[in-house]
Structure 1
Amino acid sequence: MRTHDEAPEAIDTAVVMDNVQVTAIKQGLTLRNRPVAASVVGRETIERRGVTAIKELSQLVPNFHIPDYGSRMTSSVYVRGLGARIDQPVMGLNVDNVPYLSKDDYDFDLADIERIEVLRGPQSTLYGRNTMGGVMNIYTLSPLAYEGTRLGAEYASGNTLRLRASTYHRPSPRTGISLAARFMHGDGFFTNEYTGRTCDWERSGGARMRLQFRPDERWSIDNTLAFGMLRQGGYPYASAATGRIAYNDPCGYRRTTLNDGLTIRYAADGWEIASITSYQYSDDRMTLDQDFLPDSYFTLTQAKQDHGLTEDIVVRSRGEGRYGWLVGAFGFYRHRSMQAPVLFKEDGLERLIADKAEQYTGLRPHFASDRMALDSDFRNPAWGAALYHESQLRLGRFDLSAGLRIDYERTRLCYLSSTDIDCTFGDGRITPFTERDTLHKSFVQLLPKAAAVYRINDGNSLYASVAKGYKAGGFNTQMFSEVLQNSVMERMGVYWDRHYDIDRVVAYKPEKSWNFEVGSHFAFADGRIRGEATLFYILCRDQQLTVFPEGQTTGRMMTNAGRTRSRGGELSVQALVARRLDLRLSYGFTHATFAEFRSGNADYAGKRIPYAPRHTAAAVAEYTVSVGRSWLDGIVLSVDGRGVGPIEWNEANSLRQKFYALAGCAIRFEQRHGSLSLWCRNLTQTRYDVFYFESIGNAFLQRGRPREWGVTLTINLQHNER
């Protein structure tokens, strides 16, 4: 444990960066020397703050917001006014340098994490697609840097139990192996009044094995194999009209993942090469009472299987010369198969189909059954390749850099949609029918960037950068049930004002942006005050938005807004104001609006972009009491506050969540071989909403979690850190 008699450590933002092993391959050794807004959270901070998932870094990182709603499949990331609820993410995720291809797998339990880096602003030149808002890099604990056994247990509100165990060994000076396992059980916080049981229960577990080998000073081999399982209820959606959670059909989500990443590095004189290879597998299933009412309208079961392969080869210069360079080649292949049947039940058939048919034609259909399936089967293979380069030139106090990436992607959607409808309508009869086709999309992007850093001294610098960001286009499969329902109505002679052209409705274009940024990394008062400040301006074209078509619809549509603008600033500060008092502050402001967006007859120009918060703020104060006994090293007292909002819930800005703040506190007893923490979150029982949406003309929302308390025990055995 770092004592406050020692000089404060070098950090990258207001969040502490602990003493860690350098494992980054692309962005260099020290982020403070780079023209990027970056927050680095080290192991000590992760454990003291009780961070168990990436979404718990919300507000601690300026302009970074991951709302906790729905299920762990819902990993919506919003940063600097950019983000979308479904399909492509706005921020990339790498674990031990391996990129995750599916946003649905972003939300998993963190255990034995060495550090987390959150880089804001486009990282597309080095990392490619879906990093226009930034990238999150997670590095797990290295068995070559740590030896021993770690045990952890936590009990908290909602009958939540977390257990973890890991062991790290070095059979030889150049070989390290680690095994880690985790388990989580929680009963949840929200009750479905229809069943009388909590609906957001969760069970999860996983294991990780890491093997590192350094045969000599030039070669290194690192392989991580991770397995995870998740079962949960989730979806505590309450009627906005009544405030009650009450639906009659089951909701839930399950997921099984397997990931293997192999990194091989070779360091020569003046240059080094790294190969990062991965295989990713995900099998998940989402079950929804899609009307979220006690009535029997319709349900959805979405099951998908993902296989992904990635290969990234990076060659870069070594040393502290005037000129540095990096070149790389990246390729991926992903194959997704998905089945997504929507089952219309008695209320859905009568109110959504029969009533509408009678209203428009004067005839009422009579169904042979009180059930009708709208079945969809998809195959969605995609592959891509990229070449990229970055050069850096040092001229006195100036560090100049420029880079370019060419990115190609091709995706295909093969769909087979069918319905088992059997009904009489007037003098005729409507029988089962099938629709099938194959859609193709290809995307080519040039992704340049340029930046300059002016080094005032070792702790202070100014920088400016301009970069292009890119989020891939694709196909939105969640509209197929609506398309099929429309086909059923047309066979009954009901023709809406809208007619769904599948290629137009299902496909959406890539999102592109230009990010202009100026910032400063600063340190003064002998390093006791450190931080960064950033101003940004983003011009975005074809921003991807998730919208609900008007009327009593069953699908969600991904559409492209014409143009949007986002501007704002960020500030992160850490201050050691006294020998034992540590303060950390972060604030982000974003003014994100539509510059050009028409939907139907509505013109939303000048309106704020929904779901992206205007303000994020956090303040953490820690006071350490030194004890200096063999049985107790010290006591850490901490209080914190986080705030976010306002958040617009629709394009018209007629509904919003006001700014809200959550308070927390903790007391932590630290000893060389472990720690014991008592903590509380949402201390003041603040009531707030984290999500709002509409389904078949009804509005729903999800409340934020109530007050939580817990106790966390950590034990370190045979600790020997190098």
Structure 2
Amino acid sequence: MEMSRPVKPVLWGFVALVAVFLCAGTVMAKEKTLRLESVMVTAEKRKADLQDIPSSISAFSETDIEDARIQTIQDLSRLTPNMYIANWGIRGTSYVFIRGIGAVNNEPAVGYYVDGVGYMDSRAFDSNLYDIERIEVLRGPQGTLYGRNSLAGVINIITQKPDNETRMGVDLTAGNYNNYQGVARLALPLVQDRLFLGMAGNFESRDGYTENDYLDQDVDNHQAFNGRVRMRFTPTENLDITANIDGEKIDDGAFPLGRLEALRKRPRHIAYDYEGSYKRDGWGSSLNVAYGTPWFKLTSITAFRKFDDSADNDQDFTILPLITADETIDDEQFTQELRFASPNSNSDLKWLAGFFGFNKKKKHNLHLGFAPGVAIPWLPLDRVTDSDLTTSGMAFFGQATYTLYENLDLTFGLRYDYEKADIDNVMTMKSNGYSLGGDKMSESENSDAFLPKLQIAYHWTTGFMSYAGVSRGYRSGGFNTAYMDASDIHFDPEYSWNYEIGFKSSWLDNRLKVNTSLFFIDLEDQQVVQLLPSADTVIRNAGKSRSMGMEMDLIAILCKGLTLDAGFGYTDAEYREYKDSLAGTDYSGNTTIMAPEYTYNLGLEYRKDLSKTWGFFARTELIGIGPFYWNDANNLKQDAYQLVNLNLGLERDNIDLILWSRNLFDEEYEAVAFEFPGSDPVGQSGDPLTFGVTLRMRF
């Protein structure tokens, strides 16, 4: 296994010495008050202790999120073993991979949920995270409980819920690149024990990290507004009704892409002639009803989400006026989930059954403009593609766990997913206002899948549980609007089988927790993205692959005030069968794309009282990304790299002042790299060193 070069060994040697010094003289056995708190999660759609769930899960509490400055899913991925996100170009291009399985231009392979509502289009995944109670990352297929497009895993985000406690707060941040951020939150009871209100808002603005030397301006500037309002009504002890509405407005720069060779010599400097932009307006609402009876608990989640997305950019990434692109997407979805679950009790049988239905509409317009001589000799060409895609579906699912002999848990689950998709697509070509013809397509497709799950877990002691399981995942099929042959109009669903064993444990009187899993994943009818001679892409069921590896999460109290958290993931993913007939190449045996050989994160966190009112806080992180490939041919490689983050602060009951930095040593790496036929590889530089100060106030 190739390892990256050591990053600043003197620094980390110094950190280790400081840790030894801080813990010197402390005898763990005598620190009876030092305990790791239990982490309660809802990963399996019922509340349970993380250590009792026989699955590979990383969970982050509100304190974890604030201390580690988790503000985007990119931040989240760097602290989650075997999770990698290529976030590049615009916020709408976040390629999420877990255990070497992900998506580029096809349907997502990772489910993304906020307060139980799934975001069905990955274009909306990258949004600012604020006022969050907890984040859970589930690794491996989650088909039984979450269904379609969760064959790699699920990101589950839970926002703060208002209750009888009045909470108000403001976070203000200023940093380099003219980075200014603000978060405001308010939660209070309107009627004690009955009616509660929660509100939160977020603002972010910063200059771009990349300079366009030809236009003499930065490219990837950010500006975003986000807001959320929640009303909660609890008329009885058994009934909890929550209504949510949220919205966002994004106005960013776009696509800081340049020739890869030039970027490696001079990172974050590009040159092209057409200024791009990215805008997204979105909103959503949901109604969550939870009702408890002595016999079962009923949960209903009704939700509507919509976003309007537009991006325009230079498509040739040179100073010549050759090709431009203008893309708009209007997307809306309606979802309904209804489930029944066994009541919270000490019964040997715990069960859950439910129904899920959805309707999704997506309008997509893409306008490519070609300068004279690029596509047609002496003449310009405009190619416009309009598509209307409607997808609807339903699912029935259930899962039950039975406990034998007090220590042995047997779990069986099954889901049936059905969906129907219809597309109307029109492509037209014009030159100087004259029609040059086009193409029309009107197609329908039905698909369904049975998604079983079987697990066995044994609790050897109160602090040690081992488990084994097998589960199936499923990714939806779809349509290609660009194709060379009629057989490519449709592509079929993709399926995976995940085999996993692991253990969860706590040691040293609950001052150390270690969770480990081993996995093997087999993918059939794999959807692969291939490039047409026209530079369009087509998705085909041309591949079979397998991914195997392990991951580990660890957290330990080293001594009073000093905590260590760490994670490690190893993935060996390769194509078992894959022939690209367009390129005339056999990629069988090649490593799958965007599957780092290893990922690791190491965090040391220290807190100490300086006086009766003030305390000191410090956190340092080392994050490692192993080598991986950007393309199926395995000729575009990202070498291993490491990032260092550092937070230092002063804290008291109602105010914190924190100095922070990201990528402290300005490590150079690529955010993305790809190539078009007959041209040099194109890429984007990774984020540079950023730093700033955050003032957090609580009232």
Report the TM-score when normalising by structure 2.
0.91
Specify the alignment match of 2:326 in structure 1: 301
Match of 2:338 among 304, 313, 324: 313
How far apart are 1:166 and its partner, in Å?
Answer: 1.4
Deviations 1:392-446 (A, max 9, x none): 10002110000110100111110111111369xxxxxx95323212011111100
Deviations 1:144-200 (A, max 9, x none): 164221101111221111011111110122211011111111111100111110000
For the 8 Å contact 2:324–2:368, the answer to whether it is kept is yes
Match of 2:144 among 120, 125, 132: 125
Specify the alignment match of 1:55 in structure 2: 74
SS at match of 1:710: strand
Specify the alignment match of 1:326 in structure 2: 352
Work out whether 1:384 is the aligned partner of 2:357. no
Specify the alignment match of 1:252 in structure 2: 277
Query: Quick one: distance in 2 between partners of 1:312 and 1:505?
Result: 34
How far apart are 1:653 and its partner, in Å?
Answer: 1.4
**Once structures 1 and 2 are overlaid, which stretch shifts more, 398-407 or 281-290?**
281-290
Structure 1 residue identity aligned to 2:655: G
SS at match of 1:684: coil
Specify the alignment match of 1:418 in structure 2: 428
**Once structures 1 and 2 are overlaid, which stretch shifts more, 137-146 or 305-314?**
137-146
Specify the alignment match of 2:54 in structure 1: 35
Query: Quick one: distance in 1 between partners of 2:650 and 2:525?
Result: 51
Specify the alignment match of 2:239 in structure 1: 219
Match of 1:613 among 584, 596, 604: 596
For the 8 Å contact 2:36–2:511, the answer to whether it is kept is no
Specify the alignment match of 2:471 in structure 1: 467
Query: Quick one: distance in 2 between partners of 1:595 and 1:10?
Result: 43
Work out whether 1:703 is the aligned partner of 2:685. yes
Query: Quick one: distance in 2 between partners of 1:561 and 1:641?
Result: 38
For the 8 Å contact 1:129–1:470, the answer to whether it is kept is yes
Structure 2 residue identity aligned to 1:586: G
Specify the alignment match of 1:363 in structure 2: none
For the 8 Å contact 1:84–1:545, the answer to whether it is kept is no
Work out whether 1:571 is the aligned partner of 2:552. yes
Q: Pairwise mapping of residues 330-479 of structure 1 onto structure 2 (< 5 A)?
A: 330-346=356-372, 350-354=373-377, 366-367=378-379, 371-396=380-405, 397-421=407-431, 431-477=435-481, 479=482
For the 8 Å contact 1:516–1:537, the answer to whether it is kept is yes
Query: Quick one: distance in 2 between partners of 1:612 and 1:559?
Result: 20
Structure 1 residue identity aligned to 2:686: G
Deviations 1:185-218 (A, max 9, x none): 1111100111110000011002110011111111
Note closer, same or farther for the CA distance 1:259–1:616 as it changes in structure 2 (3 Å cut). same
Query: Quick one: distance in 2 between partners of 1:237 and 1:431?
Result: 32
Note closer, same or farther for the CA distance 1:80–1:145 as it changes in structure 2 (3 Å cut). farther
SS at match of 1:126: helix
Query: Quick one: distance in 2 between partners of 1:714 and 1:642?
Result: 26
How far apart are 1:677 and its partner, in Å?
Answer: 0.8
Query: Quick one: distance in 2 between partners of 1:686 and 1:304?
Result: 35
How far apart are 1:311 and its partner, in Å?
Answer: 0.3
SS at match of 1:143: coil
Structure 1 residue identity aligned to 2:36: E
Specify the alignment match of 1:689 in structure 2: 670
For the 8 Å contact 1:113–1:138, the answer to whether it is kept is yes
Query: Quick one: distance in 1 between partners of 2:594 and 2:321?
Result: 30
**Once structures 1 and 2 are overlaid, which stretch shifts more, 517-526 or 137-146?**
137-146
How far apart are 1:651 and its partner, in Å?
Answer: 1.4
Specify the alignment match of 2:34 in structure 1: 7
Unmatched segments (≥5 aa) in structure 2: 1-30, 264-268
Query: Quick one: distance in 2 between partners of 1:249 and 1:652?
Result: 31
How far apart are 1:127 and its partner, in Å?
Answer: 0.6
Query: Quick one: distance in 2 between partners of 1:323 and 1:660?
Result: 47
Q: Quote the sequence identity (%).
A: 30
Match of 2:310 among 262, 281, 285: 285
Query: Quick one: distance in 2 between partners of 1:29 and 1:252?
Result: 44
Query: Quick one: distance in 1 between partners of 2:164 and 2:132?
Result: 13
Work out whether 1:272 is the aligned partner of 2:297. yes
For the 8 Å contact 1:84–1:546, the answer to whether it is kept is no
Specify the alignment match of 2:507 in structure 1: 524
For the 8 Å contact 2:451–2:473, the answer to whether it is kept is yes
Q: Pairwise mapping of residues 16-27 of structure 1 onto structure 2 (< 5 A)?
A: 17=39, 26-27=45-46
SS at match of 1:214: strand
How far apart are 1:242 and its partner, in Å?
Answer: 2.6
Structure 2 residue identity aligned to 1:460: F
Structure 2 residue identity aligned to 1:246: A
For the 8 Å contact 1:408–1:445, the answer to whether it is kept is yes
Unmatched segments (≥5 aa) in structure 1: 12-16, 355-365, 424-429, 484-499, 718-722
For the 8 Å contact 2:91–2:123, the answer to whether it is kept is yes
Structure 2 residue identity aligned to 1:155: A
How far apart are 1:711 and its partner, in Å?
Answer: 0.7
How far apart are 1:309 and its partner, in Å?
Answer: 0.4
Query: Quick one: distance in 1 between partners of 2:588 and 2:438?
Result: 40
Match of 1:175 among 195, 200, 208: 195
Structure 2 residue identity aligned to 1:92: G
Structure 2 residue identity aligned to 1:637: A
How far apart are 1:696 and its partner, in Å?
Answer: 5.3
For the 8 Å contact 1:291–1:695, the answer to whether it is kept is no
For the 8 Å contact 1:42–1:115, the answer to whether it is kept is yes
SS at match of 2:262: coil
How far apart are 1:27 and its partner, in Å?
Answer: 4.2
For the 8 Å contact 1:405–1:447, the answer to whether it is kept is yes
How far apart are 1:23 and its partner, in Å?
Answer: 6.4
Match of 2:654 among 673, 676, 691: 673
Query: Quick one: distance in 1 between partners of 2:203 and 2:499?
Result: 44
SS at match of 1:111: coil
For the 8 Å contact 1:25–1:97, the answer to whether it is kept is no
Query: Quick one: distance in 2 between partners of 1:334 and 1:431?
Result: 32
What is the Cα-based RMSD across aligned positions, in Å?
A: 1.7
SS at match of 2:625: strand
For the 8 Å contact 1:24–1:97, the answer to whether it is kept is no
Query: Quick one: distance in 2 between partners of 1:62 and 1:713?
Result: 30
For the 8 Å contact 1:529–1:573, the answer to whether it is kept is yes
How far apart are 1:304 and its partner, in Å?
Answer: 1.4
Note closer, same or farther for the CA distance 1:203–1:95 as it changes in structure 2 (3 Å cut). same
Query: Quick one: distance in 1 between partners of 2:640 and 2:489?
Result: 35
How far apart are 1:561 and its partner, in Å?
Answer: 3.5
Note closer, same or farther for the CA distance 1:556–1:124 as it changes in structure 2 (3 Å cut). same
Query: Quick one: distance in 2 between partners of 1:261 and 1:628?
Result: 45
Query: Quick one: distance in 1 between partners of 2:501 and 2:366?
Result: 46
For the 8 Å contact 2:132–2:160, the answer to whether it is kept is yes
Work out whether 1:513 is the aligned partner of 2:496. yes
For the 8 Å contact 1:5–1:579, the answer to whether it is kept is no
